[in-house]
A = this chain, B = another copy of it.
Amino acid sequence: MPRGRLTAADVVRAGAELADEIGYQDLTMGVLAQRLGVRTPSLYKHVDGLDDLRHRIATLATTELGEAVRAALQGKAGSDALAAFARAFGAYVTAHPGRYTATTGAEVSGPGDELYDASARVLDSMAAVLRGYGVEEGEMVHAIRTLRCLFHGFAALQSANGFQWSGDADESFEWLIGFVDRGLPGADDRLT
């Protein structure tokens, strides 16, 4: 093969796909190199080691998640927006368990970090839902944290166990949406 084939983005993308396929824990430099048809040390020309690769995959995943959520929120408000956010979130995590696992436990260094910005965009979308829902600013921080726990927990259980939920997983997820709807204070526009 000639020169200049691989780029950093290629490596990260292939790593993300591989993590979704074989599981995040089994994503190793060797298997990724094999997937790319290259020897292991070559990856270090594009990525600064395994930790860096993981961080970049987490950034990619968070960015994609933010875009998916933002797209789902277009033209929605109130409880519709909440349901759309939740379904988009759940759909992304189900489709990309390896990528989401990368985001759990990823270290965010600070405002200069791309991952920080991507996370902030997801949380902004969450805040937009809550604000359009009638949550007061004083409660906003608590509401965001609570919803973050709920969705993060769902995602973690989803990507770890794959949910041995008996089969009515969708029904449970809809119940979860209704639960949030009831739990949020000060809303005029409610689900069923």
Between A142, A155, A168, A184, the greatest number of chain B beta carbons within 10 A of the residue's beta carbon is seen for A142
Question: How many positions in chain A have a CB within 8 Å of any CB in the partner chain?
Answer: 33
Within 8 A of B (CB), among A104-134: 104-105
Total identical chains: 2
Q: Which of B25, B154, B172, B183 contacts A153 (CB 8 A)?
A: B154
Would you give the shortest CB distance from A95 to chain B, in whole angstroms?
A: 18
Q: Which residues of B contact A41 (CB under 8 A)?
A: none
Would you give the shortest CB distance from A135 to chain B, in whole angstroms?
A: 11
Would you give the shortest CB distance from A151 to chain B, in whole angstroms?
A: 7
For the residues of A in contact with B, the DSSP-based class is helix
Q: Which residues of B contact A152 (CB under 8 A)?
A: 153, 156-157
Q: Which residues of B contact A184 (CB under 8 A)?
A: 179, 182
Contact status A149-B142, CB under 8 Å:
no
Q: Which of B104, B160, B165, B183 contacts A183 (CB 8 A)?
A: B183
A44 CB within 8 Å of chain B = no
Q: Which residues of B contact A179 (CB under 8 A)?
A: 143, 146, 183-184
* Chain B, residue nearest A183 (CB): B183
A76 CB within 8 Å of chain B = no
Q: Which residues of B contact A183 (CB under 8 A)?
A: 179-180, 182-183
Could you pull out 6 A-B pairs where Cβ atoms are within 8 angstroms? A142-B172, A143-B179, A145-B175, A148-B153, A151-B153, A182-B184
Q: Identify 17 new A-B residue pairs, CB closer than 8 A, beyond the known A143-B175, A152-B153.
A: A104-B156, A139-B175, A141-B168, A141-B172, A145-B165, A145-B172, A145-B175, A145-B176, A146-B150, A146-B179, A149-B150, A149-B153, A149-B176, A150-B153, A153-B156, A156-B156, A182-B184
